[in-house]
Structure 1
Amino acid sequence: MGRVRTIQRGGSRFYIHPERPEIKHPGVTSVISMLPKPFLMYWAAKMTAELAVDSLAFVEQMAERDRAGAIDYLKGASRRYTKVRADVGSQAHDLFERMIRGEAIGKVHPDLKPYRKHFADFLDAVNPRLERAEDVAWSDTHEYAGSFDAVLTVWLDDDGKPTPDRSGTPHLLMVDWKTSKDTYPDVALQMSAYAHADRIIAPDGSSEPMPEFDGAAVLHITPDAWAFKPVRVDGDVFAFFLALRSVFTWDRQVSKEVIGRAIAKSEGQLTTGTQRRAK
């Protein structure tokens, strides 16, 4: 069996069926991108303004030599920041997977040291058992897919607190690692999509039904602290994700088909005989 591959199309990620390449489902995060986020416009403007003020002399010199280049430099402020943060997040996710699999970790980049320490603290405080990591959640029913971070068994007491000696009741959780500035509500949409998918597809292309989960949680790690937080992934939350899935189809497909060719239109500006003879 083949593995699940991904492609980028129109700014969205699509997952290709391992056995039927004609089937391409949008990624969970691409579906969630249909959520309106007007604050991003103001954040991007603020990033550009701060860069302009903080490097005024440099921008002025650049503009004298290359006005278009100076504009591109300022315009790319938010994009460059996002890329740096995404790179750190990807490296941290790779580190977390290696650690939870029990791999010996040597030296890491200084930027990753606090993440390594906090993840080690999490492992000591919670002592989860890894069931799956970085596999693909695939929905045949609703036509989406996505790579989840981990499925863990966590032992909890009657108050819902972890028991690192595993004396509590075992709970199967869909778990996501986050290294962003904060945890945001749309993580519930993301994790509900994973938990309600039809099956899990492993890297070798083998497939098995998605298990029944006792819940979900997000491990939020920053350079300063970590927190393990429960996340709702019930049917009500999943219904909102499905609404976005419909919006995705509208945005990427149906909206491009609803307006037909003109059946009548103006003939353009009249050309007089005098104008024709003057040519």
Structure 2
Amino acid sequence: MEVIKKINNNVAVCIDDNGRELIAFGRGIGFGEMPYELDDLNLIDRTYYGVDSQYFGLLNELPENIFDVTMRIVEYARSKITCELSPNILFTLADHINFAIERYKKNIMIKSPLFYDIENLYETEIDVARQAVKLIQSELKVHLPEGEVTSIALNLINAEEQCCIPGGDYDSDEVIDDVTKIIEKKTGRVIDRRSFNFSRFATHLQYLLKRKETNRPVSSENMRMFETMKDGFPQTYDCVLDILDYFREKIQWNPNDEELLYLMLHINRLCTREDCNQ
């Protein structure tokens, strides 16, 4: 196996004997001058094929223990879920778990408005997500709230490459693009649609749109947080109001305040990482 590009000391881009590119994890394989031939394959702990290069940067941004736990979660998920999972799931899920832990440390606890829909439709993914939350608690000493079960399950569902929920009578990609343009207009910045941060934001929007198709009411339990966000982030709230008007006109949907709260949180996250507010 040829090691061709260092990502960090313990992760590298490699080429196998069949000429296929992969990401390899193994202690010390990132040392040395590139490229070089790795003869001792016992040094490699795990390999991942087909990973999008936009996610490579996360390997230097996220703590190693987050990746270690996420690897175990993904391996467990693949043993339980019949659909093929995207090779990017390790990175998207690790980023989500890291973000969830950051929220936990800041005492931001929010119950997912999608919980009952997902619990009824995706029992296997919910069961895997519950085990993931238990593993995070035992290995990382972080007791994530119950709502994270739904969020982790959504990450798994999004990574399922052959098991899709049918969409509505509109083009969801067009809706996501239109919403992004609204955010750009309000913030005066251009959002990189090829970035990982935008990908995560688009994923959130996809599942809000899919939830619309279930046409099920959701009880709001986060109104205090919603009022706090409205007061603390007036620009984001103003942006969400424009998006709300767009939803009503374009797809005849009137999201409730809890769903708007989630939208505000993800817009804030996108704008913080994409430097929209500066």
Using structure 2 for the length normalisation, give the TM-score: 0.24
Structure with greater helix percent? 2
Q: For CA contacts below 8 A with separation 6 or more, give which structure has more relative contact order.
A: 1
- Which structure has the larger Rg? 1
Structure with greater strand percent? 1
